[in-house]
């Protein structure tokens, strides 16, 4: 039952580092190119890439939840509070200005391009694969353990604090209500949670020791990932795109 999950989608199946490089290049190009139109084109390309890699739905959902909120705030603040410029419309004491709108759009597209590239990457790549790739690229196994175990512990901690809350509710402690009520419960919930985790840490460290965590011999990977034949091609193509973009930017700057 070797866990070699074969991704059906060709882009999603690329090696994490390849995808990471692509995301990085998309982010760099978006930030590098001047003007709203060019940045918008970059963002559209990213959206197409997301759709083509079969992560369209997740991408849109995550974008709206994070970048979408930032963009909305930017648009409102910049448009309404830009100090000088040509008015678009005005109501009450506010006047919306074209200049503000443009500044906001520029910033938004930068966010959408760079942030979106990262979001795209993580909608295609599991943390596990990413960390494994980093480890193979030379990151210390200790660092990769910290990342993976932390990611795993978060839901466990959530569940535990829920259990403690329930226990306290059963003892008649008020756990719902306004902020002050909640704050009062917070401390008695936190103390056992922290104490039990600290106590656990000691034994967990020894457990790792008992499992050969600090043994110097190079470890094997039961679940493993390797770059495929496509990866090299994609990397070269991505580099070509990057070079063209940089060259174009320099050309625009010179003339």
Partner 1 sequence: MGYIELNNVSFTYLLAKRPAMENVSLSIEKGKFYAILGANGSGKTTLCNIIRGFIPNFYEGEMTGEVMLEGKPLKDYSMEDLAPKMGYVFQNPFNQITGARDNVFEEIAYGLENFGVPVDEIQRRVERVMEMTNTAYLAEKNPFELSGGQQQRVALASILVLEPDILVIDEPTSQLDPKETERVFDIIRKMKETGKTIILVEHKIELVAEYADHVIVLENGKVIDFGEKHEVLSKLELQDHGIVLPQSVVLADKMRKQGMEIEPKLVTRDELKQELQRKYGR
- For partner 1, the binding residues (CB under 8 A) are 1-3, 128, 145, 148-149, 152-153, 155-156, 200, 202-224
Nearer to partner 1, 168 or 197 (CB): 197
* Closest CB 173 distance from partner 1, rounded Å: 25
Nearer to partner 1, 3 or 8 (CB): 3
Nearer to partner 1, 84 or 217 (CB): 217
Strand partners, 90: 95
* Closest CB 146 distance from partner 1, rounded Å: 10
* Closest CB 126 distance from partner 1, rounded Å: 10
Dist CA 168 CA 185 (whole Å): 9
* Closest CB 55 distance from partner 1, rounded Å: 21
Q: How far is CA 187 from CA 179, 181, 184, 201, 208, in A?
A: 13, 11, 6, 21, 31
* Closest CB 164 distance from partner 1, rounded Å: 15
Nearer to partner 1, 1 or 180 (CB): 1
Dist CA 124 CA 143 (whole Å): 22
Q: How far is CA 108 from CA 76, 85, 120, 237, 249, in A?
A: 12, 20, 17, 27, 20
**What sign does the CA torsion over 42, 48, 52, 57 have?**
positive
Rg (CA), the chain: 25
Q: Which residues touch 145 (CB under 8 Å, ≥6 apart)?
A: 208, 213
Nearer to partner 1, 37 or 152 (CB): 152
Q: Which residues of 176-205 are buried (b: 16+ CB within 10 A; e: fewer)?
A: eeeeeeeeebeeebeeebeeeeeeeeeeee
Strand partners, 91: 94
* Closest CB 195 distance from partner 1, rounded Å: 13
Nearer to partner 1, 177 or 212 (CB): 212
* Closest CB 224 distance from partner 1, rounded Å: 8
Nearer to partner 1, 172 or 218 (CB): 218
A 10 A CB-CB count for 5 gives 10
Dist CA 82 CA 68 (whole Å): 21
């Amino acid at each position: 039952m070797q866990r070699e999950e074969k991704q059906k989608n060709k882009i999603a199946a690329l090696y994490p580092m390849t995808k990471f490089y692509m995301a990085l290049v998309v982010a760099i190009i978006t930030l590098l190119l001047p003007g709203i139109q060019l940045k918008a084109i970059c963002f559209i390309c990213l959206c197409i890439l997301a759709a083509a890699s079969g992560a369209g739905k997740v991408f849109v959902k995550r974008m709206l939840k994070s970048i979408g909120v930032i963009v909305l705030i930017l648009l409102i603040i910049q448009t309404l509070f830009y100090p000088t410029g040509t008015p678009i419309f005005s109501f009450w004491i506010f006047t919306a200005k074209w200049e503000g709108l443009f500044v906001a759009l520029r910033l938004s597209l930068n966010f959408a391009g760079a942030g979106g590239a990262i979001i795209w990457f993580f909608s295609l790549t599991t943390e596990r694969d990413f960390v494994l790739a980093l480890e193979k690229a030379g990151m210390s196994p200790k660092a990769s353990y910290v990342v993976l175990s932390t990611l795993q512990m978060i839901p466990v901690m959530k569940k535990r604090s829920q259990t403690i809350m329930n226990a306290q509710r059963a003892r008649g402690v008020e756990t719902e209500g306004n902020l002050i009520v909640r704050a009062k419960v917070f401390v008695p919930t936190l103390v056992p949670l922290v104490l039990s985790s600290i106590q656990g840490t000691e034994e967990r460290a020894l457990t790792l020791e008992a499992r050969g965590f600090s043994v110097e011999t190079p470890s094997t990977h039961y679940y493993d990932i390797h770059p495929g034949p496509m990866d090299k091609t994609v990397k070269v193509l991505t580099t070509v795109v990057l070079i063209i973009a940089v060259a174009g930017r320099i050309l625009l700057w010179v003339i």
